[in-house]
């Protein structure tokens, strides 16, 4: 464990240590900054437009707002927040998204560990079949699954959406985790087994902690897919129990009810983006170099 911590402490220095010649450093910064600039411009345009009066948005490009005379307004945001009880649906979104992230990640981790480090008949065939399921378009499962959920009476409950998102998220989660866990050093698990550790102990004490970077990324993606999902909630919760609907559905209905007024939507879009973005920033510190590297030596 100490070597693991040490590897983490040393981590930042490795990235910064290597100073190439000045010119290539300059080129490096240049390329990174240009790509980052191209990537942020579309969203920046949306952000700027969300603070502009409606008639300005349709008359001139968003960049004109950056020069005086400034004409910014909070009216778009005020209208979005007034129009719908977004607070309740924000809580609903949390209640839907948190379990719909935890369940698939855990269930996938169990399976991935078995696929990576246990032997059983038809292991590869089953695994490839699971990966093959990635290709199934969500839309083609909606009707049979809705019939099933309705017949068990859980359609409309949060549970229905938790289970559905778990099912849809699992193929990718298993695929990603098995690949990463399969690449963990064999010696670690062999010596754990020799020391008498049960597979459950090896899983919770070794495999999971060593997979933290990939679990963090997986958790972020699953979180985002569920948070931004419209279709699954709309179909499995929508008709039965509208009180449980998440934010995306409320925002979408807002859009259709005020049809065509994109300046309102710009504000709504930003409100839905705030949380996923904070989650990403929060989890980013887990993307640390050298966690597995340190463990091999230990």
Partner 1 sequence: MNDLVTAAIVVFGVPAVLVGYILLTERIIGALPEQRQGAIRPWFWIAPAVAFLVVFLIYPTINTFVLSFMDAQSKSFVGLDNYLWFIQDPGTIEALRNSLLWVVFMTGGVVGLGLLIAILVDRVRYEPVAKSVIFLPLAISFVAAGIIWNFMYGYQDPSRPQTGTLNAVIGIVGLGPVRWTQEEPFNNLSLIFIGVWMWTGFAMVILSAGLKGISPELLEAARVDGATEWQVFRGIIVPLLTPTIFVVATTIVITALKSFDIVFTVTNGNFGTDVIAREMWQQMFTPPGNFGRASAVAIVLLLAIIPFMLINIRRFREQEAIR
Nearer to partner 1, 77 or 221 (CB): 221
Please identify, among the stretches 55-63, 66-74, 75-83, the one whose residues bind partner 1 according to the rule CB under 8 A: 55-63
H helices of the chain, in order, are 2-17, 22-50, 54-59, 75-83, 86-117, 123-132, 142-152, 158-182, 186-194, 199-202, 208-210, 212-228, 231-236, 247-257, 262-283, 291-297
Check binding of 222 to partner 1 (CB under 8 A).
Answer: no
Residue window 143-172: x/- pattern of binding to partner 1, with contact defined by CB under 8 A: xxx--x---------x---xxx-xxx-xxx
Q: How far is CA 212 from the centre of its chain?
A: 15
Q: Beta-carbon neighbour count of residue 193 at 10 Å? A: 14
Judged by CB under 8 A, the residue of 2, 23, 55, 140 near partner 1 is 140
Check binding of 261 to partner 1 (CB under 8 A).
Answer: no
Check binding of 191 to partner 1 (CB under 8 A).
Answer: no
CA dist 60 and 45 (Å) reads 12
Cβ 272 to partner 1, closest distance in Å?
A: 6
Cβ 74 to partner 1, closest distance in Å?
A: 19
Check binding of 133 to partner 1 (CB under 8 A).
Answer: yes
Cα angle value 134/135/139 (rounded, 5°) = 105
Nearer to partner 1, 13 or 68 (CB): 13
Check binding of 126 to partner 1 (CB under 8 A).
Answer: yes
Please identify, among the stretches 65-73, 79-87, 118-126, the one whose residues bind partner 1 according to the rule CB under 8 A: 118-126
CA dist 216 and 207 (Å) reads 14
């Amino acid at each position: 464990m100490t070597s693991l911590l040490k590897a983490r402490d040393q981590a930042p220095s490795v990235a910064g240590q290597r100073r190439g010649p000045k010119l290539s450093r300059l080129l490096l910064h240049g390329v990174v900054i240009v790509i980052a600039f191209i990537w942020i411009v579309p969203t920046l345009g949306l952000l700027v437009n969300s603070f502009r009066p409606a008639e300005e948005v349709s008359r001139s490009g968003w960049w004109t707002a950056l020069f005086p005379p400034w004409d910014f307004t909070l009216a778009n945001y005020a209208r979005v927040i007034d129009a719908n009880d977004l607070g309740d649906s924000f809580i609903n979104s949390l209640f839907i998204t948190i379990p719909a992230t935890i369940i698939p990640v855990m269930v996938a981790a169990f399976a991935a560990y078995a696929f990576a480090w246990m032997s059983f008949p038809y292991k590869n065939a089953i695994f490839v079949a699971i990966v093959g399921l990635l290709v199934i378009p969500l839309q083609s499962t909606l009707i049979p699954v809705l019939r099933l959920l309705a017949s068990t009476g859980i359609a409309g409950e949060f549970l229905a959406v938790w289970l559905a998102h778990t099912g849809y998220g699992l193929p990718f989660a298993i695929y990603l985790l098995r690949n990463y866990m399969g690449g963990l050093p064999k010696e670690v698990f062999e010596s754990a087994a020799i020391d008498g550790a049960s597979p459950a102990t090896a899983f919770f004490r070794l495999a999971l902690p060593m997979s933290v970077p990939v679990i963090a990324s997986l958790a972020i993606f699953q979180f985002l897919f569920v948070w931004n999902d419209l279709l699954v909630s709309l179909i499995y919760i929508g008709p039965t129990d509208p009180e449980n609907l998440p934010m995306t559905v409320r925002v979408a209905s807002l859009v259709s009810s005020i049809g065509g007024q994109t300046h309102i939507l710009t504000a709504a879009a930003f409100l839905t983006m705030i949380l996923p973005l904070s989650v990403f920033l929060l989890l980013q510190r887990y993307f640390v170099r050298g966690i597995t590297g340190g463990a091999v030596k230990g």
